Amino acid sequence: MNIALWIAAGLLAAVYLMSGTLKATQPVEKLKKQMGWVEDFPPTFVKILGVLQILGAIGLILPLATGIAPILTPIAAACFVVVQILAIAVHIRRKEYSIAINVVLLLLALFVAAFRFASA
């Protein structure tokens, strides 16, 4: 089970690190071509979300790997559960029903959060 949790956390961290880096570093006008929802939010929100995703990706791996404040790993995963619930709501509000990736990320984050909290 531990290997499955590490794989899930690693996948989540990779996705959120890439996504967060894009949001934090790319101009919002460029992001609108790839992420239509960006036009519904202020540019500052998008940048802050990107930075928080980068920090969350680090929080999924580093605390448990180093043994320093390992409770932060399931907390980061739980935060990503909330992020995906809100992302799904935004997509549905925009009538974008291709939310399969969001559902997969939600389930992975829920898996990591639940089992890491149980073992903490």
| pLDDT tens per residue across span 3-58 | 999 999 999 999 999 999 999 999 999 999 989 899 999 999 999 999 999 999 99
- Read off the pTM: 0.93
CA distances from 61 to 12, 28, 68, 90 (A): 10, 28, 11, 28
Owner of token pair 């925009």? 94
Closest CA to 62 of 43, 50, 75: 75
Is 119 a residue whose pLDDT tops 90?
A: no
